[in-house]
Structure 1
């Protein structure tokens, strides 16, 4: 008998239809309902369970009472055991976490949960050790990698497990943004941990690629990756539209054709000169802080140094260090180079030689490619 843990966040996604950017926060669900929004998460959870109806004699569903999963599972004829009941009229995040603990104590084979990034955070907060989970996408925000592409796709993955097909498990990140800040136009993305999910390229949500998504969505993914790396370090933000997209995700003013300095996702200096930039880097390092550089390639040309960012002088780049340079570019931009390398033309042949070779380029969220970097002078020598 397959022991399926099943959890539904009843209010997940309710804020989407009324442009609330999510459902996290006190009274958001009540406000959304007052504006006419209707809960959809149980309907989406039902789509996943419908795939499993042919296997009802092989499944016992362990879940929460009422709209946390019981009603949905019973309506489809599944054998159900309720392992958590909540007080009052509505469940809370604490109930989600309590249900996860109860399901883990039951040693279920898989936790299938319906919600958004906030729900994934609550689940992740209580997961202990190896405990496979899979999300049914039902929220407004689905940045985390623990979700299937669709509710039906989630059902298909469970179906394979029930049929004893070989299913690998991988670690997937739990991501979320601060909704209150987002409603004020500020994007603060953060990684909250990771959970084990069944790996299936056909059904599991993957990083967006330039060939299938618009450049705008890809730029959002690149921005999310870089923002995730930001803690208290000093970040030097180079020129170009890809870097500008990262600044835009943080709701910070950007100098498109200049260099800015940020720290803790706040603007520290704008359109800095080489001299001021170098001084800021040395001061930060003397204070024990790490300095990182974010640069992109000029579209069609491929220059990452020496065109439009002369503030990034050899002494500036050397002070930052090769290991602290983030190169960002969409795959579409790299493909447009037609196999030509990215170009470094710093004016210092020694530095250009140090930077030449294959370097990682951030092309999406947790998506990087190795791409050749070269100097024309070195190639001619």
Structure 2
């Protein structure tokens, strides 16, 4: 019987839908913008998957929404080894203290729910404690660049229940302030022992490749598409399309364009919804090395936006060669199911390639 230590960063990912590109130091602002917590629901999905695969699993956790509530809602009777001083203002120090207590309990795995910042907190604390307890991330943050995360919460639960060996993987993090200004500064922060499984994502890789003809083709179509609203995602590939449309877009944000006019730059999910029209096209490119079309770095393109839009996926041939399959993780099962299957991905002015979305 396996014992799993579960810790949830309840504020992880709150900044995504409201356009903050992260929550570090921005919790108050995120809440003022109407952000809602997403990590508890993701934790519950992962723990329900554990319960389905291995109901006899023992759960050790931290109090309140840092794991206890989600574990009980999933049907477990967890051992609670502490809790935050204030649930309204949980901090990285709370996460680190939880990990220290899990290490003292000798758990077989630490299942954490958050983003790259949480992954760093877990890995650094284990190093300080001098233990090599395996860890596994449930993706809930805006930034999920590390190779220690499962591709979905449900996949994390399955891996946690079934794994039989581990391997060393990278924990990366980026400077959120620089990220908000359009610059990615990714640094290797730590190494962690992670279960071996197919349902783990790769480290974020920065891929190259010429995208001029691709960008020109999409831009020509958009200019001729009178009355259509284009929701243009982040990244260098879509950034080239924005340049072809005649404006300097937000490199890591989402811009909304129609009939030669930028309706809103660096938009939040609500702002995108407010500017949608009768016909809408979402243009996104997968994250290099990971293959995520939705759910990594573009949470502003919410399930509600996707439901009301056509989706065009664009990518260089070299990027597609490196990812194998495309992935989605919007947080809405129905939307994810609608996006899965074989899809044409635009790789040139006219050329398209069939790719499987899983």
TM-score range, shorter chain: 0.5 to 0.7
- Counterparts of 1:180-191 in structure 2 under 5 Å? 180-191=177-188
For the Cα contact (< 8 Å) 1:169–1:199, is it kept in 2?
yes
1:124 equivalent in structure 2: 123
Query: 1:206 aligned to 202, 211, 214, which one?
Result: 202
SS in 2 for 1:7: strand
Is residue 142 of structure 1 aligned with residue 144 of structure 2? yes
Partners of 1:49 and 1:139 in 2: how far apart? 17
SS in 1 for 2:206: helix
- Counterparts of 1:339-350 in structure 2 under 5 Å? none
Partners of 1:76 and 1:185 in 2: how far apart? 39
CA displacement 1:33-67 (0-9 Å, x = unmatched)? 11111000010111111112246652221111001
Q: Which runs of 5+ in 1 are unaligned?
A: 162-166, 209-219, 224-239, 243-247, 250-329, 336-381
Task: Sort the Cα spacing of 1:136 and 1:332 in 2 relative to 1 into closer, same or farther, 3 A.
Answer: same
- Counterparts of 1:306-345 in structure 2 under 5 Å? 332=318
For the Cα contact (< 8 Å) 1:168–1:198, is it kept in 2?
yes
Task: Sort the Cα spacing of 1:57 and 1:51 in 2 relative to 1 into closer, same or farther, 3 A.
Answer: closer
CA displacement 1:53-98 (0-9 Å, x = unmatched)? 2466522211110010000001122021111211123211000011
Task: Sort the Cα spacing of 1:34 and 1:2 in 2 relative to 1 into closer, same or farther, 3 A.
Answer: same
TM-score, length-scaled by structure 2: 0.56
For the Cα contact (< 8 Å) 1:131–1:196, is it kept in 2?
yes
2:166 equivalent in structure 1: 169
Partners of 1:193 and 1:169 in 2: how far apart? 16
1:173 CA drift (Å) = 0.6
CA displacement 1:267-286 (0-9 Å, x = unmatched)? xxxxxxxxxxxxxxxxxxxx
Q: More displaced, 70-79 or 4-13? A: 70-79
CA displacement 1:88-109 (0-9 Å, x = unmatched)? 2321100001111110111101
Report the count of equivalent residues: 215
SS in 2 for 1:147: coil
Task: Sort the Cα spacing of 1:331 and 1:55 in 2 relative to 1 into closer, same or farther, 3 A.
Answer: closer
Task: Sort the Cα spacing of 1:331 and 1:56 in 2 relative to 1 into closer, same or farther, 3 A.
Answer: closer
CA displacement 1:322-356 (0-9 Å, x = unmatched)? xxxxxxxx873998xxxxxxxxxxxxxxxxxxxxx
1:34 equivalent in structure 2: 32
Q: Which runs of 5+ in 2 are unaligned?
A: 212-234, 237-315, 322-358
Task: Sort the Cα spacing of 1:33 and 1:241 in 2 relative to 1 into closer, same or farther, 3 A.
Answer: same
2:8 equivalent in structure 1: 8
Query: 2:60 aligned to 25, 50, 62, which one?
Result: 62
1:378 equivalent in structure 2: none
SS in 2 for 1:17: coil
Partners of 1:151 and 1:123 in 2: how far apart? 18
1:98 equivalent in structure 2: 97
Task: Sort the Cα spacing of 1:43 and 1:149 in 2 relative to 1 into closer, same or farther, 3 A.
Answer: same
1:156 CA drift (Å) = 1.0
1:196 CA drift (Å) = 0.5
Partners of 2:117 and 2:143 in 1: how far apart? 8
SS in 1 for 2:81: strand
Is residue 19 of structure 1 aligned with residue 16 of structure 2? no
For the Cα contact (< 8 Å) 2:120–2:171, is it kept in 1?
yes
SS in 2 for 1:182: helix
Partners of 2:132 and 2:49 in 1: how far apart? 25
RMSD, aligned CA: 2.4
For the Cα contact (< 8 Å) 1:56–1:79, is it kept in 2?
no
For the Cα contact (< 8 Å) 2:54–2:161, is it kept in 1?
no
